Structure 1
Amino acid sequence: MKTDSTRTEELPIYASLIRERGDVVEEARAVAEETQHQMAQALNGVAAAPQETGAP
């Protein structure tokens, strides 16, 4: 789902929040797409290497 760029340009508060805090919605979308890709591979029997989270 693509957002309408003119719609976000009309929302100065939203643009300010993205500059200050980052685009959380876009980050969540990217993680969801990657998860969907990984699950599709898992369901097709393709084994993916485990990824480290960086936590000790």
Structure 2
Amino acid sequence: MFQETPIYSRLVAERGDVPQVVRGEAERIQRDLGRLIAMNPQAPLGGQHYRPQAAH
């Protein structure tokens, strides 16, 4: 991707590797969504909205 610079290395040491954390979360979300989609392949396009029924 790019060559690390001293300031980048220092920021990673101080704050953690934020891009790596974000990448990991994005991959986790993608896996979770893939499982949900695989569980319900007949779901309507655009999703289904929750509409609570009125109390009687």
Alpha-carbon separation, structure 1, partners of 2:39 and 2:15: 38
The number of equivalent residue pairs is 40
Structure with the bigger percentage of helix: 1
Please, which runs of 5 or more residues in structure 1 have no aligned partner? 47-56
Q: Where do 4+ consecutive residues of structure 1 move more than 2 Å?
A: none
Q: Could you tell me the TM-score, scaled by structure 1's length?
A: 0.65
Alignment of 1:26 onto 2:23: no
Please, which runs of 5 or more residues in structure 2 have no aligned partner? 41-56
User: Could you tell me which amino acid in structure 1 is paired with residue 26 of structure 2?
Assistant: A
Say which structure, 1 or 2, has more relative contact order (CA 8 Å, 6+ apart).
1
Aligned with 1:40: secondary structure? helix
Q: Could you tell me the TM-score, scaled by structure 2's length?
A: 0.65
* Cα-Cα RMSD: 1.5
CA offset digits 1:1-56 (Å, max 9, x no partner): xx45xx11xx100000000010010000000000000000000007xxxxxxxxxx
Give 1 or 2 for the bigger CA radius of gyration.
2
